[in-house]
């Protein structure tokens, strides 16, 4: 968005300078600047001082105080619930911006927060994602349960705000954040600024919420007899953040070194092992992190859309919120999501459709019909089913959401493969509604990406899925299919670091001969001792299907003994079925061999989770 003299209070010279500066700033810099301006406004309004410069926030402490100085609330608590690290990263960004105002910040994961402190909090800011079908992320489960229980205290006098992260393609969009928001109000809390619900393209909405929180905190200032410049100095120093050159908003164009099919001849699956160069990028990662890939839509699908709407593929359209443009075809290939239907998309599409059936479909009374329709359909289906249309090329940027990146667990150790990152990506193919469908990223990588091509990527740190700090700690890893990817990284790193702790991998897929991903790696690791035990389950090789959770139950007593010896348990893969079945197996093992009731066994596993000894990377 470009500032103009007519829509702002700035002179033409100021407008030109601002428009030159803002597009060059990173997200951290923008949030930092928001906090800085709040602090600047407080100081300049209540003190006599020379003008401050944007480049020198340290000028703030040199201000000479006058008799009455405004003081903002001095303490705030920020709690986050995060599965992949986004909410945690944004929580850190909010904390840094509040520190600039001289506020003492308590920043904590929800499962690490002492709930008996909650009734003492004056300012509470909650950042949380929604996982699965409206569920809290793993590290928010216990706090969510506590807050919705009879043990939750009255919170009269509490000022709060919630940032909710989610995905509008899911029915229960941002439900966990909405739960926290309504419950805090029920307990007597007062919203200092409204909740913001973020879709997958969350950066701008999140930055706006952070700025709103900073403004609200600043405006809540109360008179005080004194204030010290030292507080602001300390906060400003602590808020210094080194932002990597390449990030979610500025991906690195990485060269593809290898793109191999891991499945054997005759397999009905295709799983790609992709090796990517990080040379000269300064990007780093650690086991448990993920790579975000900005994919390309299928050219065939794009051409069918353009043909149906009778558009000129070379017509120039707006693709970005700052006025960026590209050709129509390029926009549909690279910038807009066209393979997923969401409720907001259909609601907006009603205005462009001459078919009354679409308005009927999005009627609140037809939730089940809408839920059924959006499943496994895409934009082409929508356009074919509800003709005629009045959509013009210029409507794309308001109708379609930005093509989001896809995250993939890293399958390599940077210590073992300097300047490289490896990924394990299974091609998604299926038929639905009389059409063949493909995964956006997996189809692109399997069918059109070759060594030498460039791929826009960024590193997504995941602090909630990390190997034990103590290399002597035993680890149990459960990763069927592509869920085994991070455990290749774990074991490569343990080998490079000389870790001596025992390791046990449970792996499963369909067929031993064609679908045993990284088989030679596991055999080598068993031989050298970096992998202590390997148990496998190939579901289609036996008359009765066998899965990893059944292998765990078969070795239940030994699994329990490992847990008693301090083992850390890691689960990666499908959340809807596998992860639930594995958790049920763990509870059964703990109950049977630990002599505990199901309730006590579940509490035992929850305790492991709070200790960081039970971690999941599920999707």
User: Tell me: the pLDDT tens digits for 278-323?
Assistant: 999 999 999 999 999 999 999 999 999 999 999 999 999 999 878 8
Residues 371 and 482 in one domain: no
Instruction: Give pLDDT, residue 413.
Output: 98
Q: Are 143 and 115 in contact (CB under 8 A)?
A: yes
Within 10 angstroms of residue 384's Cβ, the number of other Cβ atoms is 12
Helix (H, G, I), strand (E, B) or coil at 424: strand
What's the pLDDT band for 131 if we cut at 50, 70, 90? confident
Mean pLDDT for 598-609 is 96
pLDDT at 190 over 90: yes
Nearest to 417 by CA among 288, 285, 321: 285
User: Could you report the per-residue pLDDT of 198-221, keeping only the tens digit for each?
Assistant: 999 999 999 999 999 999 998 775
Domain boundary among 358, 375, 399: 399
Instruction: Give pLDDT, residue 142.
Output: 93
Residues 262 and 362 in one domain: no
* DSSP H helix total and E strand total for the chain: 22, 25
Judged on CB neighbours under 10 Å (0-12, 13-18, 19+), 278 is: buried
pLDDT at 222 over 90: no
316 bridge partner residues: 327
Residues 43 and 171 in one domain: yes
pLDDT at 234 over 50: no
Instruction: Give pLDDT, residue 52.
Output: 38
User: Could you report the per-residue pLDDT of 325-340, keeping only the tens digit for each?
Assistant: 999 999 999 999 999 9
Residues 496 and 610 in one domain: yes
What share of the chain in percent tops pLDDT 70?
84
* Residue ranges in 110-258 assigned as alpha helix (H): 141-147, 175-186, 203-219, 229-238
Residues 39 and 138 in one domain: yes
Residues 37 and 132 in one domain: yes
Residue 466 lies in a domain: no
pLDDT at 58 over 50: no
- Rounded CA gap, 619 and 576, in Å? 8
Residues 560 and 418 in one domain: no
Residues 180 and 44 in one domain: yes
Higher confidence at residue 224 or residue 373?
Answer: 373
Helix (H, G, I), strand (E, B) or coil at 297: coil
Mean pLDDT for 401-422 is 97
CA atoms within a 13 Å half-sphere pointing along the CA-CB vector of 189: 29
Q: What domain range is 503 assigned to?
A: 475-618
Residues 101 and 202 in one domain: yes
Domain of 367, CATH number, reads 1.20.990.10
- Rounded CA gap, 79 and 107, in Å? 6
Mean pLDDT for 356-383 is 96
Residues 331 and 415 in one domain: no
Instruction: Give pLDDT, residue 20.
Output: 61
User: Could you report the per-residue pLDDT of 566-590, keeping only the tens digit for each?
Assistant: 999 999 999 889 999 999 999 999 9
Residue 468 lies in a domain: no
Domain count, the chain: 4
- Rounded CA gap, 52 and 530, in Å? 57
pLDDT at 118 over 50: yes
Q: Are 529 and 500 in contact (CB under 8 A)?
A: no
Domain of 167, CATH number, reads 3.40.50.360
Residue 470 lies in a domain: no
Residues 194 and 124 in one domain: yes
- Rounded CA gap, 127 and 143, in Å? 13
Domain boundary among 354, 380, 399: 399
Instruction: Give pLDDT, residue 193.
Output: 96
Instruction: Give pLDDT, residue 14.
Output: 65
Higher confidence at residue 358 or residue 22?
Answer: 358
Verify cis geometry, omega within 30 degrees of 0, for the bond prior to 144. no
Residue 603 lies in a domain: yes
pLDDT at 358 over 80: yes
Nearest to 164 by CA among 77, 97, 84, 90: 90
Report in angstroms the alpha-carbon separations of 186 from 129, 146, 179, 181. 21, 14, 11, 9
Q: Are 353 and 386 in contact (CB under 8 A)?
A: yes
- Rounded CA gap, 262 and 515, in Å? 8
- CA 415-418-419 angle, 5° bins: 140
Q: Are 479 and 487 in contact (CB under 8 A)?
A: yes
DSSP 8-class letter at 364: G
Instruction: Give pLDDT, residue 4.
Output: 55
pLDDT at 250 over 60: yes
Residues 36 and 109 in one domain: yes
Domain of 527, CATH number, reads 3.40.50.80
Q: What are phi and psi of 84, to 5 degrees?
A: -105, -5
Residue 244 lies in a domain: no
Domain boundary among 238, 260, 277: 238
Residue 37 lies in a domain: yes
pLDDT at 40 over 60: no
pLDDT at 25 over 70: no
Instruction: Give pLDDT, residue 62.
Output: 34
Instruction: Give pLDDT, residue 59.
Output: 37
Residue 565 lies in a domain: yes
What's the pLDDT band for 427 if we cut at 50, 70, 90? very high
- Cα 38 to chain centroid, rounded: 28
User: Could you report the per-residue pLDDT of 516-542, keeping only the tens digit for each?
Assistant: 999 999 999 999 999 999 999 999 999
Nearest to 422 by CA among 495, 511, 484, 513: 484
pLDDT at 233 over 70: no
Residue 511 lies in a domain: yes
């Amino acid at each position: 968005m470009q500032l103009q003299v007519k829509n702002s209070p700035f002179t033409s010279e100021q407008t030109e300078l601002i428009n030159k500066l803002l597009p060059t700033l990173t997200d951290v810099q923008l949030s930092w600047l928001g906090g800085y301006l709040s602090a600047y406004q407080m100081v300049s309004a209540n003190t006599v001082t020379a003008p401050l410069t944007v480049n020198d926030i340290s000028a703030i402490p040199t201000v000479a105080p006058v008799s009455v100085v405004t003081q903002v609330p001095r303490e705030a608590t920020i709690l986050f619930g995060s599965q992949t690290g986004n909410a945690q990263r944004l929580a850190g960004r909010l904390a840094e911006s509040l520190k600039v105002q001289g506020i003492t910040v308590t920043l904590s994961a929800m499962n690490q927060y002492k709930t008996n402190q909650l009734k003492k909090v004056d300012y509470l800011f909650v950042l949380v994602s929604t996982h699965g079908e409206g569920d809290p992320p793993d590290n928010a489960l216990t706090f969510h349960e506590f807050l919705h229980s009879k043990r939750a205290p009255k919170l009269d006098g509490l000022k709060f705000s919630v940032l909710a992260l989610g995905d509008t393609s899911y029915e229960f969009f941002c439900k966990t954040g909405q739960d926290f928001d309504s419950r805090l109000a029920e307990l007597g809390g007062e919203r200092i600024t409204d909740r913001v619900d973020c879709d997958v393209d969350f950066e701008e909405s999140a930055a706006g919420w952070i700025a709103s929180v900073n403004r609200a905190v600043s405006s809540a200032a109360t008179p005080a007899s004194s204030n010290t410049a030292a507080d602001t100095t300390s906060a400003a120093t602590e808020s210094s953040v080194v932002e990597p050159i390449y990030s979610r908003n500025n991906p690195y164009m990485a060269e593809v070194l290898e793109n191999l099919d891991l499945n054997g001849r005759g397999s009905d699956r295709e799983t790609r092992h992709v090796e990517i160069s990080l040379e000269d990028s300064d990007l780093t990662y650690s086991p448990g992190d993920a790579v975000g890939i900005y994919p390309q839509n299928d050219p065939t699908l794009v051409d069918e859309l353009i043909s149906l709407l009778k558009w000129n593929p070379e017509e120039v359209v707006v693709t970005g919120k700052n006025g960026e443009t590209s050709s129509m075809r390029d926009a549909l290939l690279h910038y807009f999501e066209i393979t997923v239907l969401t409720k907001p998309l259909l609601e907006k599409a009603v205005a462009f459709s001459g078919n009354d059936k679409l308005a009927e479909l999005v009627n609140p009374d037809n939730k089940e019909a809408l839920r059924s329709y959006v499943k496994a359909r895409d934009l082409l289906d929508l356009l074919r089913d509800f003709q005629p249309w009045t959509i013009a090329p210029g409507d794309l940027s308001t109708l379609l959401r930005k093509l989001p990146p896809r995250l993939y667990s890293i399958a390599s150790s940077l210590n073992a493969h300097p300047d490289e990152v490896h990924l394990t990506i299974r091609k998604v193919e299926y038929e639905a509604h009389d059409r063949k469908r493909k995964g956006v990223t997996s189809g692109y990588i399997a069918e059109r990406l070759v060594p030498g091509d460039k791929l826009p990527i960024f590193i997504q740190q995941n602090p909630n899925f990390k190997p034990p700090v103590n290399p002597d700690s035993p680890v149990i890893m459960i990763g069927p299919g592509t869920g085994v990817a991070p455990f290749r990284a774990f074991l490569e790193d343990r080998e490079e670091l000389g870790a001596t702790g025992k390791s046990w991998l449970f792996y499963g897929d369909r067929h031993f001969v064609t679908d045993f991903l990284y088989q030679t790696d596991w055999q080598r690791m068993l031989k050298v001792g970096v992998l202590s035990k390997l148990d496998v389950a190939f579901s289609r090789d036996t008359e009765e299907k066998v899965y990893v959770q059944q292998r765990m139950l078969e070795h239940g007593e030994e699994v329990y003994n490992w847990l008693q010896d301090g083992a850390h348990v890691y689960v990666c893969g499908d959340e809807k079925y596998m992860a639930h079945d594995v958790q049920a197996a763990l509870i059964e093992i703990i109950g049977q061999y630990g002599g505990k009731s199901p309730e006590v066994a579940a509490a035992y596993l929850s305790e492991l989770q709070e200790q960081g000894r039970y971690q999941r990377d599920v999707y």
